[in-house]
Amino acid sequence: MITHIQSAQTAQRGIVLVSSLLLLLVVTIVALSMFRSFGIQEKIAGNMREKQRALQAAVTAQQFAEVWLDNNAGSTASGPCTTLMNGNNPTQGQICSNQLSNLSIFPNGVTAVPWMFNNAPVGVTFTPPGMLIGSTTTTTNTLLNPSYATAPTFYISDLGPSPEGSSPGEIYQIDAVGYGGNSNTVAVVESTYVVSTSSRNAGGP
């Protein structure tokens, strides 16, 4: 009878050991899954941040192009755009007669960046103040303000006169592209912009 009780206690101790090992295995698997999930979520968050950075860079270039049109459309004639200009230089800017949406001229379309005409980049770059372009040096500034792969670029196409007889003007298509921290993170935005001319009688007969 005593021998029988000792055997039962030994068997129970073995079951506890096996159960503990199984529980440890399950906990280990769960912990590894959590670490993997955290890594994936971190990558997703990083990708979303880069996407937003690229989009904001493109919107900034688009808004600059609209302001530039307001100030220069009346004094700048449209013509074929064949080079890449620097919008930070006040003397540089262009209105293109070779429309970016014309697939016979740009067969890869608007989303194929950088925009190329006769194997040469075209458009106007614009680097907002404080934007770091292609910086490889890690400093406190680059940690707070990460660099961008390439300067934002815009392209202004002349679409012709406005059909609105009561508000004569010229219609332009503005395409802008922005990049995140690398050239694989790209955002392209597009808008149609009308520069109208008007006159009023300031007095007299």
Residue spans of the domains in the chain: they are 51-196
For the cut 60, the answer to whether the pLDDT of residue 18 exceeds it is: yes
Give the tens place of pLDDT for each residue, 104-139.
Answer: 999 988 989 999 999 999 999 999 998 999 876 766
pLDDT for 2-16, tens place per residue?
444 455 555 556 677
Burial of 168 (0-12, 13-18, 19+ CB in 10 A): middle
d(CA 181, CA 138): 13
3-state secondary structure of 120: strand
The CB density around residue 77, as the number of other CB atoms within 10 Å, is 9
Which tokens in the block code for residue 201? 């009688």
pLDDT value, residue 74: 85
Task: Of 153, 43, 142, give the one whose Cα is nearest residue 87.
Answer: 153
Task: Report the pLDDT value the prediction gives residue 143, as an integer from 0 to 100.
Answer: 67
pLDDT at 81: 95
- First CA to last CA across the chain, in angstroms? 130
* Rounded Cα gap, residues 27 and 17, in angstroms: 15
| Cα–Cα distance measured from residue 62 to residue 145, given in angstroms and rounded to the nearest whole number | 21
Q: What pLDDT, on a 0 to 100 scale, did the predictor assign at position 1? A: 46
Q: In what order do the strands lie in the sheet with 84-86?
A: 84-86, 123-125, 153-161, 169-179, 186-196
Q: Is residue 34 within 8 Å of 41, Cβ to Cβ?
A: no
